[in-house]
Structure 1
């Protein structure tokens, strides 16, 4: 929270600036065309009250699905033992836990059975955020080079971000709705009808159009929020007063006032002037970059942060925490260097980052841009919506152009550089964090593949799921590389339900192992046989995907039951102490996709030291994948090379005339 002195000074600064600009900006302040990115006829949270609740799967269904996922991973004797544990769990211990979970769920109808435990799981993890948790999503470049400069793009994206935020806060951001048939449901009639319905039944009206509103609860955590490290368990901080953003350049931190005293977005010329003022600042790189501390193990960072606050830096930390979001200005030029782009936006060198913020909008020296976001508060659905909306708005409706003049006011009235008081203890902590982070980043390998000859359309023509084909490629590539199958994680959103988070799809199935064994065997079957096997893989994967999206996976259910068992004390059910349970939750292949025309690529780190983090893209005109690994435990270059072979084989089968 702000101290009263800081609040007074900040309000005084904004008030004086408002007087200077009130005459020429008075009419524009009230102009919704500038203040809001959207004015939806249906309120943002209109469907929230009537969203269906995340279902608790039947215990016997969860046990069956769990065994099906274990079957391709275990030897015959191992599977036999695991099946005994699962049978006992289903018939004995699990029944009591299931009743406890249902009872809790019945008493907490405002949320989902997984939400509280999932938040808790994230916030208790002591691992550093970058690479381990924070993913990067990279924007498609501006098509017009003159708009892709750092100054113009950063300012336009800043303005679009503020317009998105104000629309969200005013409740006029268009609700997120999944339209099964957009031509029939994404229409004026749909929004007219659903707007007229009371919020308590509005979801049912959308359902009649074969459209499914999604949970919007996470959106409130996008702005003015941060994760604060504390011993044992972090906490999420949210502010209702911050009217400034945090800007970082060369490890130096600045706050920039972006809203006036009435909460209106300042004129484009003023925001342009503020960005130019910081970009033109010739101050040297910070000798002790405070942001590197956010790369630390969470308990370590918690101790250092408390020391910083106790040694005269509490107001600066409050300004960082309450800022609307973090805008990163990097000096480097990306150009065509894809590897540099992936590396910089996923982790960089840590000196010019504040990884705790809900999200950071990163803009390189040549305008290449990305979002790096903290993961505990929410998932990719909310972030992707933000990315798509501000990309569209900043490119189709830019407020700053090459000829836009900066305001006549002094930008120093809006920009404040944060000066930290650092004693020897703090300096030593910064140097230690920098050394450790450099070692981590040096051991991380990032590799990628892009296929323009293969795309979603080929998959659709062959009546197979593009996502299943990508996942099948990963299975075949890993099997070729290591001669075995391992636990594989694919994230699936459950945002169709109130306070849904994610569910796990388990892409390694008996169907995929059968196909991969045949594909990589010396005595390979005919293309006709392989194509039939491939289609079976697609059918199985489609079923798993549908089940997960409908809250009918097994991972989150077993997770919630285990949390209850631990709270009850005593001995855990044998299912949870079985080595097979530990193995299936040791995700060597961790995969996720966020496909959008606004996104060039995305990436994240492996979740285990000897694993791969695989982010992939499926578009109408290309397929792509980015793989990360830690040397010497795994080699993502070898995995990508193997993946190329697998995709070639798979698409040869799809394209073969049989």
Structure 2
């Protein structure tokens, strides 16, 4: 507790003999070491700013340019073509007086060399941006690389041959382009065709034509103006209007979760698992702060934007009346911990060093052993972050804006992240493994509705039996960024930090560490979260979650068919939905746009004319050759849609921004209003495994990640998340709502919905099955 150390570091008493100073040298040493750590971080940030500021060149290249210019001048040649003499003539008069002619020449040469060096850096950066603007490589068939792409890859490797820092590529990434409005409208109509009847499609076509020829061009001009001025014409509006302006609960509706290993729990000791997990997260934060993380690069050479990493730690979403605000602090030396209704502040640094895993375990155990009861209103305080946003804002303003409540709330919001020590046990083990996985997912999605702090950028949950998980707030970043963090955490916990034979963390313990600080509250009865808890509990009770690993085959077998695994699964989901509901629906698949600066996501509309044609052919019993042909067309179409989304030619973000512009201008567009009001009854997302090198599945096949999931987007729809693990496994997470009669269990409809050529794999509410002849995994509701 830094405040306690500072309080006793300097004391004095007044005596008849004078003032008696009493100094605590131990406390002063602690303060000194903390200051040293702070200055080291500042120096590291400054050094990294210089290094990434001159990338793809290096700071030392300046010396090379200076030496080259001086050497050329020594040979009585003027490489500047008169510019050095011109600089010399414009030097301040004081320098002319104080420096000799030779000194003035040397100074002018240094100035010219520096300007030349900066110009070369700008030229290299411009060339790198031009190279990164080339996306044709994505549309080439696998194994058939054009000569243009080969030359492009060679040049890109040459320009990025230096080891980059995490943010080195940021200024070289291209800006997201604004697609032509004609192309967007045309692609939209094509995506809407399988979902509309002929009269409906004719009406929508007329609306689209009127929009394109009139209002659309006006809105497009404003959008292009924004694209010239802003770093990314989508991201700021997307963050504000899709996330921060939402006034409903973020629990279930926005936040998502990540799960632990499927088969393995590294230790059954709750405090030990918390010790290693917290340490791994803080080591990752150190890498982010020092920019030591390698930039994520496709095919090892094509960088993705890393801007989302900036607000990963020390970040909280705070409520407002009309919009929430993301607050981010540069640093935090503590984490907030919740256990059995009490909140604690746990300092993770002492004397300028990070506590060892064993020391953090020791501190966590102190919290677990603390038997003090919750203060009035403390136990269910977290429900305020789970309910509606406006009541949370008013409660915060009235009761948490000053005094002891503000200080305690600041300790939670300024923490590096939030930790819940859950008093339940979760995982797959037991007599009902399938049901246990479902309960595990629900626990991570919403818990008890008051034992998580849903406003934090992410919260870690450590269960009583050592199982762990994560709940993440969505506005600051998308799932792949959090997944990268969680992969590192799981791998570091299990393979790098490890445990002793008796399950405890490794390392030594400083027994003199001050105990974790219990946060104090003075919460009046009217501020206690009864209404928010009721809203959150009703929402949580309505959610149905199911998690199941598909082990029959994985991407290894799919790729042998020369089909994209993602397209394979998405077409399977279309078949499943058709068998479930007897038709098709608007389908959302998240795709990233991080090839562009500050890029986030774009929508792939997976329900296409081609996928619908395949499903109808399969269900009507057409010949196998015909089904194979249609399946190939559907998979190719899906891949093309995915590539268009990744390269800035998607549909939905462009239409969304046009709609925002129309609202700013105060004009109504029937076309945009109708497009943006369409419900996504099937919302899907793939969680990519980005760091397979961290997991040695060959020697440790049981260390398989379950991935994560999210709640349903539509009240009458499904939320489907999947992760392709290794070569032989696909994990699915499916959510729906009990309140919708069409998405509840209907066992009597099983035989009617599944054709005779389907092999049953799991007997749960949702099934993965294999279609005869196509070996396609399909999600089917009973």
Which one of 243, 247, 255 corresponds to residue 134 of structure 1? Answer: 255
Rounded Cα–Cα distance in structure 2 between residues aligned with 1:636 and 1:604:
18
The SS at the match of 1:133 is coil
Rounded Cα–Cα distance in structure 1 between residues aligned with 2:619 and 2:661:
43
- Offset of 1:437 from its aligned partner? 2.1
Report what 1:458 is aligned to. Answer: 557
Rounded Cα–Cα distance in structure 1 between residues aligned with 2:257 and 2:276:
20
**TM-aligned CA distance change 1:86 to 1:318, over 3 Å:** same
Q: Is the Cα contact below 8 Å between 2:388 and 2:535 reproduced in 1?
A: no
**TM-aligned CA distance change 1:14 to 1:65, over 3 Å:** farther
Task: Check if 1:551 corresponds to 2:648.
Answer: yes
Q: Is the Cα contact below 8 Å between 1:224 and 1:322 reproduced in 2?
A: yes
Which stretch has the larger CA shift, 380-389 or 76-85? 380-389
- Offset of 1:618 from its aligned partner? 2.0
Q: What per-residue deviation string (whole Å, max 9, x for no partner) do you get for residues 350-373 of structure 1? A: 221100000011111122111110
- Offset of 1:251 from its aligned partner? 2.7
Rounded Cα–Cα distance in structure 1 between residues aligned with 2:8 and 2:518:
14
Task: Check if 1:282 corresponds to 2:404.
Answer: no
Q: What per-residue deviation string (whole Å, max 9, x for no partner) do you get for residues 326-378 of structure 1? A: 11111111142211211111111122110000001111112211111000111
Report 1:445-594 matches (<5 A). Answer: 445-521=544-620, 524-570=621-667, 572-578=668-674, 581-582=675-676, 585-594=678-687
**TM-aligned CA distance change 1:594 to 1:10, over 3 Å:** farther
Task: Check if 1:635 corresponds to 2:743.
Answer: yes
Q: Is the Cα contact below 8 Å between 1:245 and 1:257 reproduced in 2?
A: yes
Rounded Cα–Cα distance in structure 2 between residues aligned with 1:254 and 1:100:
50
Which one of 155, 166, 170 corresponds to residue 275 of structure 2? Answer: 155
Report what 2:66 is aligned to. Answer: none
Task: Check if 1:324 corresponds to 2:416.
Answer: yes
- Offset of 1:536 from its aligned partner? 1.2
Task: Check if 1:260 corresponds to 2:350.
Answer: yes
Which one of 275, 298, 307 corresponds to residue 398 of structure 2? Answer: 307
Rounded Cα–Cα distance in structure 2 between residues aligned with 1:354 and 1:14:
34
- Offset of 1:310 from its aligned partner? 4.4
TM-score, structure 1 length as denominator?
Answer: 0.85
Which stretch has the larger CA shift, 501-510 or 299-308? 299-308
Q: What per-residue deviation string (whole Å, max 9, x for no partner) do you get for residues 33-86 of structure 1? A: xxx9xx995221111110111111121111111011110111101101111111
Which one of 287, 293, 305 corresponds to residue 167 of structure 1? Answer: 287
The SS at the match of 1:397 is helix
Which one of 226, 239, 252 corresponds to residue 119 of structure 1? Answer: 239
- Offset of 1:162 from its aligned partner? 0.8
Which stretch has the larger CA shift, 625-634 or 70-79? 625-634
- Offset of 1:396 from its aligned partner? 1.6
- Offset of 1:129 from its aligned partner? 0.8
The SS at the match of 2:599 is coil
Which one of 292, 299, 316 corresponds to residue 226 of structure 1? Answer: 316
Rounded Cα–Cα distance in structure 1 between residues aligned with 2:255 and 2:511:
38
The structure with the largest alpha-carbon Rg is: 2
Task: Check if 1:273 corresponds to 2:362.
Answer: yes
Rounded Cα–Cα distance in structure 2 between residues aligned with 1:257 and 1:469:
48
Q: What per-residue deviation string (whole Å, max 9, x for no partner) do you get for residues 556-588 of structure 1? A: 001011111110113x2231244xx245x3111
Q: What per-residue deviation string (whole Å, max 9, x for no partner) do you get for residues 154-185 of structure 1? A: 11111111111112112222222222xxxxx4
Which one of 425, 430, 440 corresponds to residue 526 of structure 2? Answer: 425
Report what 2:714 is aligned to. Answer: 608
Rounded Cα–Cα distance in structure 2 between residues aligned with 1:176 and 1:437:
37
The SS at the match of 1:438 is helix
- Offset of 1:311 from its aligned partner? 6.5
The SS at the match of 1:648 is strand
Query: How many residue pairs get matched?
Result: 600
Rounded Cα–Cα distance in structure 2 between residues aligned with 1:319 and 1:350:
20
Report what 2:193 is aligned to. Answer: 71
Q: Is the Cα contact below 8 Å between 1:454 and 1:651 reproduced in 2?
A: no
Which stretch has the larger CA shift, 384-393 or 226-235? 384-393
Rounded Cα–Cα distance in structure 1 between residues aligned with 2:683 and 2:366:
42
Report 1:250-399 matches (<5 A). Answer: 250-260=340-350, 262=352, 264-284=353-373, 288=377, 289-310=380-401, 312=403, 313-336=405-428, 337-398=436-497
- Offset of 1:138 from its aligned partner? 0.8
Report what 1:436 is aligned to. Answer: 535
Q: Is the Cα contact below 8 Å between 1:270 and 1:407 reproduced in 2?
A: yes
Which stretch has the larger CA shift, 121-130 or 621-630? 621-630
Report what 2:511 is aligned to. Answer: 409
Which one of 131, 142, 165 corresponds to residue 43 of structure 1? Answer: 165
Task: Check if 1:618 corresponds to 2:724.
Answer: yes
- Offset of 1:297 from its aligned partner? 0.6
Rounded Cα–Cα distance in structure 2 between residues aligned with 1:592 and 1:442:
23
- Offset of 1:491 from its aligned partner? 0.6
The SS at the match of 2:218 is helix
- Offset of 1:602 from its aligned partner? 1.2
Task: Check if 1:215 corresponds to 2:305.
Answer: yes
Q: What per-residue deviation string (whole Å, max 9, x for no partner) do you get for residues 164-218 of structure 1? A: 1112112222222222xxxxx4xxxxxxxxxxxxxxxxxxxxxxxxx21111111
Higher relative contact order at CA 8 Å, sep ≥6: structure 1 or structure 2? 1
Q: Is the Cα contact below 8 Å between 1:231 and 1:299 reproduced in 2?
A: yes
- Offset of 1:133 from its aligned partner? 0.3
Which stretch has the larger CA shift, 635-644 or 340-349? 635-644
**TM-aligned CA distance change 1:88 to 1:252, over 3 Å:** same
**TM-aligned CA distance change 1:575 to 1:149, over 3 Å:** same
Which stretch has the larger CA shift, 228-237 or 280-289? 280-289
Rounded Cα–Cα distance in structure 2 between residues aligned with 1:12 and 1:358:
32
Q: Is the Cα contact below 8 Å between 2:29 and 2:351 reproduced in 1?
A: no
The SS at the match of 2:184 is helix
Q: What per-residue deviation string (whole Å, max 9, x for no partner) do you get for residues 602-625 of structure 1? A: 111111211111111223211232
Rounded Cα–Cα distance in structure 2 between residues aligned with 1:655 and 1:443:
31
The SS at the match of 1:81 is helix
Rounded Cα–Cα distance in structure 1 between residues aligned with 2:284 and 2:398:
36
- In the alignment, structure 2 segments of 5+ residues that lack a partner are 11-23, 49-161, 429-435, 693-703, 761-766, 778-782
Rounded Cα–Cα distance in structure 1 between residues aligned with 2:665 and 2:617:
47
